[in-house]
Amino acid sequence: MISPVVSTNLFVPIGQATFMIPLYLLDKKFAVSFLNAIFGALLCALFYLFCTSFFKKKTSLTLTLGLGVSTLLWPYSKSLFNNIEEAFFVFLAFFLTARYLKKPSLWILLCILLSALSAFFIRMSGIIPCFIFFVFVLITSSKNYRIILGAGMGVTLAILISWNWVFYHHIFGIFKHISMVSLLNLSFFKEAFPTPFAQGLFGLLLSPGKGFFIYTPLACLGVLGFFTFHRRDRQLFYLTLALLGAYVLFYSKLRFWPGDFAWGPRYLVVLTPYFIFPIGYLFEQRRKFIKPIFLILLGLGFLIQIPAIVTSTTNLYYHYLLKEKTPRDFHLTPFSFEVYSKPRLSPIFLGWKTTFEIASRMKTYAYQPLPNDFYARFAKVMRESLQEEDYAPFLKEDPVFNTFDLWWIRKWITHTSPREHTRTFILRLLLFLFSMLLISGCGLALSSIAEEKKMP
Q: What's the pLDDT at 453?
A: 55
Neighbours of 265 (CB within 10 A): 27
pLDDT digits (tens, 9 = 90+) for 66-119: 999 999 999 898 888 889 999 999 999 999 999 998 888 888 888 898 898 889
350 class by beta-carbon count within 10 Å (0-12 exposed, 13-18 middle, 19+ buried)? buried
Worst-scoring range by mean pLDDT, 57-61, 105-109, 377-381? 377-381
Mean pLDDT, range 169-178, rounded to an integer: 56
Q: Is the pLDDT of residue 185 over 70?
A: no
Residue 146 — pLDDT band, cuts 50, 70, 90? confident
What is d(CA 17, CA 19) in angstroms, rounded to the nearest whole number?
5
Q: Is the pLDDT of residue 161 over 90?
A: no
Q: What's the pLDDT at 441?
A: 61
Which range in 10-19, 95-104, 143-152, 270-279 is most confidently predicted, on average pLDDT?
270-279
Mean pLDDT of the chain: 77
Residue 408 — pLDDT band, cuts 50, 70, 90? low
Q: What's the pLDDT at 215?
A: 94
φ, ψ of residue 125 to 5 degrees: the values are: -65, -10
Worst-scoring range by mean pLDDT, 154-158, 221-225, 382-386? 382-386
Cα 6 from chain centroid?
21
Q: Is the pLDDT of residue 182 over 70?
A: no
Instruction: DSSP for 283-328, please give it.
Output: HHTT-TTHHHHHHHHHHHHHHHHHHHHHS-HHHHHHHTGGGG--GG
In percent, the amount of the chain with pLDDT more than 90 equals 27
Worst-scoring range by mean pLDDT, 46-60, 108-122, 156-170, 325-339? 325-339
CA distances from 153 to 78, 109, 110, 162, 165 (A): 35, 12, 11, 14, 18
DSSP state of 370: P
Q: What's the pLDDT at 89?
A: 95
Q: What's the pLDDT at 67?
A: 94
